[in-house]
Structure 1
């Protein structure tokens, strides 16, 4: 291996999956020099991709590490790992048996209370690209809203009431709001009409670095409960985080249980329990799961690099 860790990042084109892989790669880059190559993977039958050739185009450096997220990349990353003899790290619980992979980074609510095996790391939520809190001055507020999903319905009126109350209580702060791919059409426009002080940023107009940059500037962040990945991104930023409730379709489901655990542990303040004259409380700690997993990857597969830190 050269002095630079060659990382091959496989992507199925879904931003949520790619952000998890990039989060790990960027955290590794904060620990040791890395070079990241992005390899888009076409959707194929899982078995066919599993037994496909692991040969790479000559323009792609031989990887030292293969990482990826999403069922579509599992077979291909295993084939490349087998061919290159590079360890492979998968995000989230894979479709294939976990013992196929060198390391699985699995949100602990997906383990359903079972202890992780030796090739697993139980994470608190999904990994993300939010950098560690720095010295940048924090003064703004950020609101992130999602939309209906398999686990949650939507309540536009309830969200609007909560957002307006937050803006009115903290009017001395500059407030931004962004949405997601699941947000109902016209949601941001309606919220901006109800709360003229809001500056809207539709997700389709923001770049890859927009959200990490805005989170690093925010003192206070409010996230709709359905937006689990956004919740963990906010908790990774060092901001104080509030929760905008929406109706639960699966009150006893794994997603809801994970949210309730964060509330019970003091990481999230639900809007219904928020005291409008008191700032949101600080979380017990800033969640830095990307960094924790990056350290684990170096210890397991590149101990000389880990020892050099």
Structure 2
């Protein structure tokens, strides 16, 4: 008898980072058990839909076994979809709603989640990367974030660090890419920096899956330390990973992440010549294994 497929509703707010997290889990589940997934846009969902029990996007779909979503908007989607059609909810973040409203929350340890049967702790956020052996790869990439509530910014100092990284590793073919938070004065300097032997590719010129395909092929990856999710994506590849220093506004649980990684010698810093230890995280696979082999026996 053919095993019944697991029906997964993958809720999306159409934000690239959030979709990458949930897609990582969905694909990892598919590798472990027969599954069908349905991508559902919940960007137009409103609180009134929870009250009135309205979720038209699911009316023509098979009833869900699992509801998966990442991002603040997806939390509402999970609750509305479950109320209308059932299924077990899996929230891929520390929710702003009470945790008790969800069947399971997959939360990075740096968000300091409570210990609960409803919470699965991860090392960083999930991702959808497929790592490959990069021992002989000539490629390297520099990922730039920007100022945040945890970090200030100094574009001149940052550019100096980038120049030093590129100049000290000229055997690598470097690509530099930025993000929506990257200050315009730095992007202008990168566009007109003729002495920097690297290809600058602004994020606005990239396709949706470009970074997910490019990153695993790099032998060396440098990330500005403000970009927590990108740090953990880099650590999920076979590359050696380095962190580019960014001035802190103050000491917080987020700024401590880079300090702990450097102290553990899992990443390089611009001031150190030591090569990092390789760990190659695969938290999507670990979370999926827990779901399929343990948690779902009592919830699906």
The normalised TM-score by structure 2 is 0.89
Match in the other structure for 1:98: 99
Equivalent-residue separation in structure 2 for 1:218 and 1:281 (angstroms):
15
What secondary structure does 1:269 align onto? Answer: coil
Equivalent-residue separation in structure 2 for 1:143 and 1:169 (angstroms):
14
What secondary structure does 1:67 align onto? Answer: strand
Paired residues for 1:42-61 under 5 Å: 42=43, 46=47, 48-51=48-51, 52-54=53-55, 56-61=57-62
Match in the other structure for 2:241: 241
Equivalent-residue separation in structure 1 for 2:95 and 2:36 (angstroms):
25
Equivalent-residue separation in structure 2 for 1:87 and 1:145 (angstroms):
37
Q: Deviation string for 1:160-179 (max 9, x for gaps)?
A: 11111111111111011111
CA contact (8 A) 1:8 1:39 kept: yes
Could you tell me how far 1:227 is from its partner in structure 2? 1.0
Could you tell me how far 1:18 is from its partner in structure 2? 1.7
Match in the other structure for 1:77: 78
- Runs (5+) with no aligned partner, structure 2: none
Match in the other structure for 2:119: 120
Could you tell me how far 1:12 is from its partner in structure 2? 1.9
CA contact (8 A) 1:221 1:240 kept: yes
Match in the other structure for 2:222: 222
Match in the other structure for 1:168: 167
What secondary structure does 2:107 align onto? Answer: strand
Could you tell me how far 1:189 is from its partner in structure 2? 4.3
Match in the other structure for 1:207: 207
Kindly tell me: are residues 90 and 195 of structure 1, through their superposed partners in 2, closer, same or farther at Cα, counting changes over 3 Å? Answer: farther
Could you tell me how far 1:31 is from its partner in structure 2? 2.4
- Runs (5+) with no aligned partner, structure 1: 305-309
CA contact (8 A) 1:93 1:106 kept: yes
Match in the other structure for 1:258: 257
* 1:289 aligns to 2:289 (yes or no): no
Could you tell me how far 1:23 is from its partner in structure 2? 1.5
Could you tell me how far 1:286 is from its partner in structure 2? 1.1
RMSD in angstroms over aligned alpha carbons? 2.4
Could you tell me how far 1:186 is from its partner in structure 2? 4.9
The normalised TM-score by structure 1 is 0.87
Equivalent-residue separation in structure 1 for 2:270 and 2:95 (angstroms):
34
Kindly tell me: are residues 143 and 72 of structure 1, through their superposed partners in 2, closer, same or farther at Cα, counting changes over 3 Å? Answer: same
Equivalent-residue separation in structure 2 for 1:286 and 1:154 (angstroms):
29
Could you tell me how far 1:60 is from its partner in structure 2? 2.8
Q: Deviation string for 1:70-117 (max 9, x for gaps)?
A: 2222222122223333111001111111111111011112126x4x20
* 1:5 aligns to 2:18 (yes or no): no
Could you tell me how far 1:199 is from its partner in structure 2? 0.7
The worse-fitting range, judged by mean Cα deviation, of 186-195 and 224-233 is 186-195
Could you tell me how far 1:3 is from its partner in structure 2? 3.7
Could you tell me how far 1:134 is from its partner in structure 2? 4.7
CA contact (8 A) 1:43 1:72 kept: no
The worse-fitting range, judged by mean Cα deviation, of 60-69 and 32-41 is 32-41
Equivalent-residue separation in structure 2 for 1:250 and 1:30 (angstroms):
42
CA contact (8 A) 2:221 2:234 kept: yes
Matched length: 295
Equivalent-residue separation in structure 1 for 2:245 and 2:225 (angstroms):
5
Could you tell me how far 1:150 is from its partner in structure 2? 1.2
